[in-house]
Structure 1
Amino acid sequence: MMGGCYHCGEPLPAKGHYSLIIDGQERAMCCPACVAVSETILGAGLDDYYRLRDQQASRPNDGAEDFLQYDSPAVFQQFSSSRNGLWQSQLSIGDMHCAACAWLIEHRLGMMDGVRSIRVNLQRGMATVEWDPATVKLSAVFDAIYRLGYGVQPWSAEGHLEQMREQQRGLLRRLGLAGVAMMQLMMVAVALYAGDFQGIDDDTRSLLRWFSLALATPVIAYSSQPFFKGAWRGLRSRRLGMDVPVSLALIAAYLASLQATVRGEGHVYFDTVSMFCFFLLLSRFIQNNLQLRREQTMRPLLPMTARKLLADGSNQWLALSALEPGDEIVVQPGEVVPVDATIIAGSSSVEDSAFTGEFMPKRKAVGDMVLAGSHNIDGSLYLRVGAEVGQSRLSQIDQLLDSARLNRPPIAELADRLSGYFTLFVLFCSGAAFFFWSVHPGHSAFLTALAVLVVSCPCALSLATPSSYAAAISALRRRGALVANAAVLENLEHISHVIFDKTGTLTEGRPRLMAIERDSEIEEARLLGIASALELESSHPIAQAFARDRLADAGFTPMTLHASNLELRAGEGVEGDVDGQRYRIGSRRFCLPDATEADDGNMTVYLVRDGVLLARFVLQDSLREEAKQAVSALQSRGIRSLLLSGDDSDQVAWLAGQLHFDEYRAACSAADKLARIRELQAQGATVMMVGDGVNDAPVIAAANVSIAMAAASDLTRSCADVALLSNRLSLIETVFEKAVQMRRVLRQNIFWALLYNGTALPAAAMGLVPPWLAALGMSASSLVVVLNALRLDRREQRAAHQAEVRKLEEAGV
């Protein structure tokens, strides 16, 4: 049905543009209600509905009932999570452009019964709402945002990008109209100004003014609407944002010019109106475009469909939402892996820089895991789905990033509050300037008041902090460090002590059997068989060194034996029966309490039978390549280093000596580590903890700043402020360096915002800044802040681009 709504078939409106990407094509819709219904259909995996239907659907009603679909648990669970009886939903908000927009939404929803918390991320256009289903319905939340004049829909990265693209298209249309009108009006203005000096007949002057009015009216009626809507929202909520003085200037200039045109006397400022609007829209368009580009490069976009392998060996295209754990799919060379999965057939080079920050592809074969968002380079991979799309590692990273961006540092809150008062001050200055120049001839009172209204830029002050933090978080994400708490970038400056765990943090966490020292006549294969049987049930990293496959990798061949009556002693060892005899394997203290050993830097595991030593197994856990460099770099910053390990082997002392730790303690329980942190904090220290084990989780949570290794447990990573996406310890120094750069850029941005407003406002009030230059300066001030912040991410963007070029070259493109 050409020219009609793709969903319901109704005629498309003459004004307004609504659309949705369906089957890879942009489909026109007649209203937001049809868009919302279509998104729900697609989000539920019912893509075939539009291919199989034999008639268009009924048009949904406008109003609050449009959002009733989101009250269904089957729908809102797709973009919400439950915790302690409350639901947390992520919503995509359209048409936000300044801190006042975020403030308005937060305060309006904060007044609703049942909404426990609301946090708005201006940079991403996202709101996170925590609500009580027993008190409020989610449709009411949607409706409250919609009635404020903002577009709202369930959050998804792909949907958010499409929403940003649509906003850009709308801005481009408004910008184009304002630009064309500005060029025409400037030519007419030249004629009018020349006529004022050289003479012009009244009919010609009147004709040119009416022509200018005709050109300027669409600029006010269409191109300027974003400013008017923003100002109206601010006034209704008693919040003064930058749109208020801008709207006052546009309306005042237009009405004054309209009056002069109708009366045939006085000056007209239609060219000023068009220039105001054009420069301000251009600034907003550039800022949005920069944000769109950053969002597109922040995460790999997943495909919408995947090839599912059927029982007869054929492939069937399915929506990602229709895939379930256990399904088998195929990914061809050059494609993006759609879900977290395990390789069941095939091998290929896989590039997963989105997770590790390392751009060189790695070879993956049967049994290896590949993550959603990774790029398959040169071979076909047959995969078994391991988790739903919403539970992928990429989704978890996105959630942590979103949480980091929603954490607003105190300086950002202060800047937002100041910007509201600053706008009020600007209005006062504009009125004062108008009054002064009305009494004292010398400059046009009206034009001076307009310049004061437009030249000020509270947005530059509001953008200074969030743009700097967002760019730093984005840069660290590309390097392989995921910041879950933005405030950590500020807190790192005050770190005085750093505490490291040993196993899995400074070492690889995979002890390897190096040698066997026999103290009996029992053959080596049997000793290994006894040890392997006793350690079979233990999950301790040292016990894993006696697994048959690990022993084979180390060049040993154990005898096959079986153990019974096993008793695991936490942190000490294992006791059990093998062939009717009682054995113990574990630490020296557990097996031979009275024995002494020299410190050789290795882990020694003892095997005894009835108190008699049978053998010593010498293990070694390889030190991570960058461990010494990481500890040394922190010490060079004046930070004291501590090693607190649960291991009671001599390797703790040896490792502390090798890495020159200021302090070390062995055989530390989680409670011991926690007590040491609190002791340091009581002395005024600011402590950073680096760890990976489950037992490190409470210590990670207690530290002022915490970093979890890539191999850390889920609990530990969820408690940490920074989660490393690879086990490169050099990333710790990278985090410190980026935090220093961020603070420097932040100070530059705040200094620039204060300097600009502190000089531009008095200059405009003195009549030294014409209105067109005021609009240009105001636009430029915001752009300077944003572009300066993006310097933090420029190097990583270049590296990502170069990696993309390498991928294309390797794929033969």
Structure 2
Amino acid sequence: MTGTASSPGTQTTDDHVSVGGGANSADEIRLASRDIGAGLRQNDLSVPDMHCGGCIRKVEQALNALDGVERARVNLTEKRVSVAWRDTAGPPPLFDALGRIGFRAHLADDGARRADPELTKLLRALAVAGFAAGNIMLLSVSVWSGADAALRDLFHWISAAIALPVLLYSGRVFFRPAWQAVRRGHANMDVPISIGVILAYLMSLYDTVGQQQHVYFDAAVTLLFVLLIGRTLDHLMRQRARSAITGLARLGARGAMVVQDDGSRAYRPVAEIRPGMTILLAMGERVPVDAVVVSGTSDIDRSLVSGESAPAAVAGGDVLEAGTLNLTAPLTIRATAEAGQSFLAEMVRLIDVAEAGRAGYRRIADRAAALYAPVVHSAAFATFLAWLYIAGDIHRALTVAIAVLIITCPCALGLAVPIVQVVAARRLFERGILVKDSAAMERLAGIDTVIFDKTGTLTLGAPRLDDRAGRDPAHVALAVALAAQSRHPYSRALVARFGADPASASAFEAVAEHPGCGIEARQGADVIRLGRPDWAAPGAALADEGDGRSRTVLARNGRLLESFAFGDPLRPGVAQAIARLRARGIEIEIMSGDRREAVARLAEGLGVTAFSADVRPADKAARVAELSAAGRKVLMVGDGLNDVPALAAADVSMSPSSGADIGRNAADFVFLHDSLETVATAIEVSRRAAALVRQNLGLAVLYNALTLPLAALGFVTPLLAALAMSSSSILVVANALRLNGGAGKRQSSAGGRTAAKAGLRPAEAAR
């Protein structure tokens, strides 16, 4: 076992998120800062652990107390803090200060802070259309109630005055894409909407001038309002899909301390680092570019590469990938590649290609729209020509054609998909599943293969001591006293299991950590070691050494005293989830960066025959691509940084909330509970939602088939057409609400409660 000494401001938590710190953090803070005038510079930090007013007070007090800090202000909603500091005083130790009070932090990504202008535009357009529709409808009710001719004409002019700015402002959401489509020589769903609304307004304005009894300003504006509801809901669901590339790029170091040719040191941005340059890598820093260790020994968090949280010991000659985290001791390394050719850059390219491929997926509503617009245009134009020929009255012909356009307006079609997705997203959220991409629900309904990562997905991703009887209490107390001096995951697991006496450290005369080996202490003439078996007790035989578990031993003067085995317990509901997936005909596969014996043991216990081990991120993405090329629809479930390319490449992806930030960003779904049964639940709800979407589309088609002939024969006025159109929208909404009951209502929490009664025991999963 390796003793991991945490530097202030550095976290080695199970989600593998580095928060800065290290010897060069001041240079990194300066590189990321901006000049705000008056001799001040400002940094924005992301502090994800803040959640209440007490956190605000602690963070602001800790930062304002630093020398050189002019002010620190917290934005709890965005979980960010802005720190202004005096340039003459140099960058303050921001990460150290936050680390001392227990808050993770990293330099904030300004790109993630920008508001969504499209959503703002839609909400404003929706508010304007809703306000105007209500007022025009009140005026129309007065007219229908028997207003005299003079009052009727006045109300018509007021309605026209209200409707015109609404069409110009709210209608542009549809008018602009419609015009762009027409300019390119084709039609989309916005074209019949735009034509119907504009013609309804112009005809109503013409009839108002002519003092006619009926006008249809209310129909035009209400039509816009209903359509904007569907468009806004659709955008709200789409915007949850976030690119993983920005989050992954944030894992890279902004710069590094480089030893120059004359022996001096200079902090250089990562873009200026060239192969052959010597870099001083402090404890707590990420490797800036692919490199090889020149001197020093340390432990490296390689979760970005392998997905495993257990640190890897490195020494001279070992290769380091960009983005991996130096945990326990300074290293001197030599760059072997530029930033653009590094491992981290390769991962960014993999994700970029995968996301571009996924973007080619055409949603159900988009496919329906491609068929819908030509049919509606043809029907309306044919109606106009027929009535012009029959009646010889262009006003009558236009009125009937407008009624056809309005009654066949794709309100129901526009709401059919987003309303089901909104209801499904709410249903999934109630069961602990966050939907980030509405289109992913359509894809999830069709998956036939699920690939699971191992550590942190099928298992909880945190080492746990295997209990066994017969341990000497004195030996256990000695091991825990040593473990309390370290932040290594195995040390923390020992302390968590047995507890530590704060006074026990005084029993040791000296304590030293040896990176890659373990922790050593002197007790009188004795040397006590807790760590790797071959270091703490060379030559000692371990009876159960071949069971595949990770081990650390306690030894006195090289003599074995006690052995501790650590496993990774299964996530609740694993056996039930796999059973439910298989019952639906879904193939199961396990892919892991862990060693083969550990993966094989887990797969055997779960009854999964398809598995692979020692898999790198690019290999995971390649396997997903191979399955997709064979016609399979793949759901990837993973939590770690090394899973991100595969998450992006899969048809659908899912990640636990306990996973790395970048993994959650890349995933289409995030499950918030420990139980893995949420995976099966998400599939069941998505398939139910897909069935309701098909029903809604069928209802929309049936509605058009029934009402189009009535409108074309002249039996429907534009006002009645608008009311019928609204009724069809209400119908598809009511059908979507059926998702709140019926199939898929099985509670995943119940599965979590019974998880311990079925499948493997946690101790078996760890082996």
Matches within 5 A, 1:758-777: 758-777=705-724
Matches within 5 A, 1:330-729: 409-416=362-369, 421=374, 424-438=377-391, 448-515=400-467, 523-530=475-482, 536-538=486-488, 541-546=489-494, 548-552=495-499, 561=508, 563-564=511-512, 566-568=514-516, 574-575=517-518, 577-579=520-522, 581=527, 583=529, 585-586=531-532, 597=544, 604-607=551-554, 613-648=560-595, 652-665=599-612, 670=617, 673=620, 676-677=623-624, 680-681=627-628, 683-729=630-676
Q: 1:244 aligns to what?
A: 195
Which secondary structure does the structure 2 equivalent of 1:503 belong to? helix
- How far apart, in 2, do the equivalents of 1:493 and 1:451 lie? 37
How far the C-alpha of 1:629 sits from its partner, in A, is 1.3
- How far apart, in 2, do the equivalents of 1:652 and 1:454 lie? 60
Can you list the C-alpha shifts for 1:106-149, whole angstroms capped at 9, x where unaligned? xxxxxxxxxxxxxx4xxxx446xxxxxxxxxxxxxxxxxxxxxx
How far the C-alpha of 1:709 sits from its partner, in A, is 0.9
Distance 1:661-1:225 versus aligned 2 partners, 3 A rule: same
User: How much identity, in percent, do the aligned residues show?
Assistant: 28
Q: 2:692 aligns to what?
A: 745
Asked if 1 retains the 8 angstrom alpha-carbon contact of 2:483 and 2:492, the reply is: no
Q: Give the letter for the 1:487 counterpart.
A: A
Asked if 2 retains the 8 angstrom alpha-carbon contact of 1:605 and 1:616, the reply is: yes
How far the C-alpha of 1:512 sits from its partner, in A, is 3.5
Can you list the C-alpha shifts for 1:77-101, whole angstroms capped at 9, x where unaligned? xxx9645xxx984345xxxxxxxxx
Q: Give the letter for the 1:182 counterpart.
A: W
Q: Once superposed, what is the RMSD of the aligned Cα atoms?
A: 5.1
Asked if 1 retains the 8 angstrom alpha-carbon contact of 2:482 and 2:519, the reply is: no
Asked if 1 retains the 8 angstrom alpha-carbon contact of 2:434 and 2:672, the reply is: yes
Asked if 2 retains the 8 angstrom alpha-carbon contact of 1:429 and 1:452, the reply is: no
Tell whether 2:107 aligns with 1:180: no
How far the C-alpha of 1:457 sits from its partner, in A, is 1.0
Picking from 150, 154, 161, the partner of 1:221 is 161
Q: 1:95 aligns to what?
A: none
Matches within 5 A, 1:79-478: 82=110, 89-92=114-117, 120=118, 125-126=119-120, 168-184=130-146, 212-223=152-163, 226-227=166-167, 233=175, 240-252=191-203, 255-256=206-207, 258-259=209-210, 268=212, 270=213, 272-273=214-215, 276-278=216-218, 281=221, 409-416=362-369, 421=374, 424-438=377-391, 448-478=400-430
- How far apart, in 1, do the equivalents of 2:363 and 2:638 lie? 28
How far the C-alpha of 1:723 sits from its partner, in A, is 1.8
Asked if 1 retains the 8 angstrom alpha-carbon contact of 2:411 and 2:726, the reply is: no
How far the C-alpha of 1:784 sits from its partner, in A, is 2.9
Asked if 2 retains the 8 angstrom alpha-carbon contact of 1:602 and 1:650, the reply is: no
Q: Give the letter for the 2:512 counterpart.
A: S
- How far apart, in 2, do the equivalents of 1:606 and 1:676 lie? 38
Which secondary structure does the structure 1 equivalent of 2:457 belong to? coil
Distance 1:783-1:226 versus aligned 2 partners, 3 A rule: farther
Distance 1:526-1:607 versus aligned 2 partners, 3 A rule: closer
How far the C-alpha of 1:565 sits from its partner, in A, is 5.3
- How far apart, in 2, do the equivalents of 1:587 and 1:473 lie? 50
Higher relative contact order at CA 8 Å, sep ≥6: structure 1 or structure 2? 2
Can you list the C-alpha shifts for 1:222-281, whole angstroms capped at 9, x where unaligned? 35753476668558765734243244245335535754x6xxxxxx4x2x32xx444565
- How far apart, in 2, do the equivalents of 1:240 and 1:467 lie? 22
- How far apart, in 2, do the equivalents of 1:502 and 1:559 lie? 40
- How far apart, in 2, do the equivalents of 1:435 and 1:649 lie? 78
How far the C-alpha of 1:751 sits from its partner, in A, is 2.0
Asked if 1 retains the 8 angstrom alpha-carbon contact of 2:416 and 2:733, the reply is: yes
How far the C-alpha of 1:432 sits from its partner, in A, is 1.5
- How far apart, in 2, do the equivalents of 1:769 and 1:750 lie? 23
- How far apart, in 2, do the equivalents of 1:521 and 1:249 lie? 87
- How far apart, in 1, do the equivalents of 2:560 and 2:152 lie? 102
Q: Give the letter for the 2:647 counterpart.
A: I
How far the C-alpha of 1:631 sits from its partner, in A, is 1.7
Can you list the C-alpha shifts for 1:700-750, whole angstroms capped at 9, x where unaligned? 334332211111111221222222233232221221122112211221222
Asked if 2 retains the 8 angstrom alpha-carbon contact of 1:447 and 1:771, the reply is: yes
Which secondary structure does the structure 2 equivalent of 1:482 belong to? strand
Asked if 2 retains the 8 angstrom alpha-carbon contact of 1:498 and 1:640, the reply is: yes
Q: Give the letter for the 1:457 counterpart.
A: C
Asked if 2 retains the 8 angstrom alpha-carbon contact of 1:517 and 1:617, the reply is: no
Which secondary structure does the structure 2 equivalent of 1:487 belong to? helix
Can you list the C-alpha shifts for 1:630-660, whole angstroms capped at 9, x where unaligned? 1211222222223344555976555434432
What are the ranges of 5 or more consecutive residues in structure 2 without an aligned counterpart?
1-72, 76-107, 183-189, 239-358, 747-767
Asked if 1 retains the 8 angstrom alpha-carbon contact of 2:408 and 2:708, the reply is: yes
- How far apart, in 2, do the equivalents of 1:592 and 1:488 lie? 54
- How far apart, in 2, do the equivalents of 1:629 and 1:692 lie? 20
- How far apart, in 1, do the equivalents of 2:171 and 2:116 lie? 23
Q: 2:758 aligns to what?
A: none
Q: 2:682 aligns to what?
A: 735
Asked if 1 retains the 8 angstrom alpha-carbon contact of 2:447 and 2:632, the reply is: yes
Can you list the C-alpha shifts for 1:593-615, whole angstroms capped at 9, x where unaligned? 98663887976544567886442
* Number of equivalences: 506
Distance 1:173-1:758 versus aligned 2 partners, 3 A rule: same
- How far apart, in 1, do the equivalents of 2:109 and 2:127 lie? 27
Which stretch of structure 1 is more off in the superposition, 462-471 or 707-716? 462-471
Which secondary structure does the structure 1 equivalent of 2:582 belong to? helix
- How far apart, in 2, do the equivalents of 1:225 and 1:564 lie? 76
Q: Give the letter for the 2:586 counterpart.
A: I
Normalised by the size of structure 1, how large is the TM-score? Answer: 0.51
Which secondary structure does the structure 1 equivalent of 2:455 belong to? coil
Can you list the C-alpha shifts for 1:412-463, whole angstroms capped at 9, x where unaligned? 444455555455435413422322321699x975654453343221333334
Which secondary structure does the structure 2 equivalent of 1:708 belong to? strand
Q: Give the letter for the 2:640 counterpart.
A: G
